Amino acid sequence: MALPLEILARSYASMSDEDLQRLALDIKSLTPEARTALRLDMERRQLPTEALDWAAQPEPLKEESLGAFRLFLRNFGIFFACDVLYIVVIGSILSNVHSIDAGKLGGAMTKAFLNLSLLAAIITSKFFVPKKLKTVWIIGAFAPPCAFMLFLLFK
């Protein structure tokens, strides 16, 4: 919802010159009405406006350009890759320990990890949409150990 020009003009009039110049550095994020009000106030204060690109368009976010299903598939793929890594690590550890039923534990953990990945992919693509891909990798890396700890608690 765009704010009326008068409200924006009053808001900018209450700002210091430095605040207006800082705001002008991020001109791409402003609505057309906000840009107009900012330009008028800067010209009224005789602040330099010639070097600013008043027609700059905001850059689209990569996550916003992905469809909901593609976002879900991307997140699930990342979480699945992290799960596979943990399953391989745990499998190699279990192959050296002979007192544990590795097949039963490995099967239960694989099922738990995949269910966790499915749930995490749904949550991160519908409800909590991370702005950076790195965040999805961090969630994927920490989710399997947390699931493993829960598995051990409720076993």
Tens digit of pLDDT at every position of the chain (155 positions): 445 778 888 888 888 888 888 888 888 878 878 888 888 888 888 888 887 777 776 655 554 555 777 877 888 888 888 888 877 777 777 777 777 776 777 777 777 777 777 777 777 777 777 767 787 787 777 777 776 676 667 76
> How many whole angstroms from its chain centre is CA 88?
28
Give the pair of three-digit tokens for residue 147.
């699931």
Predicted TM-score (pTM) of the model is 0.43
Please answer whether residues 142 and 83 qualify as being in contact, where contact means their C-beta atoms are separated by less than 8 angstroms: no
Q: What is the pLDDT of residue 9?
A: 82
- Domain ranges for the chain: 1-58, 62-153
φ/ψ (deg, to 5) at 100: -110, 140
CA dihedral 2, 6, 12, 14 (to 10 degrees): -130
| CA atoms of 96 and 132, how far apart (whole Å) | 38
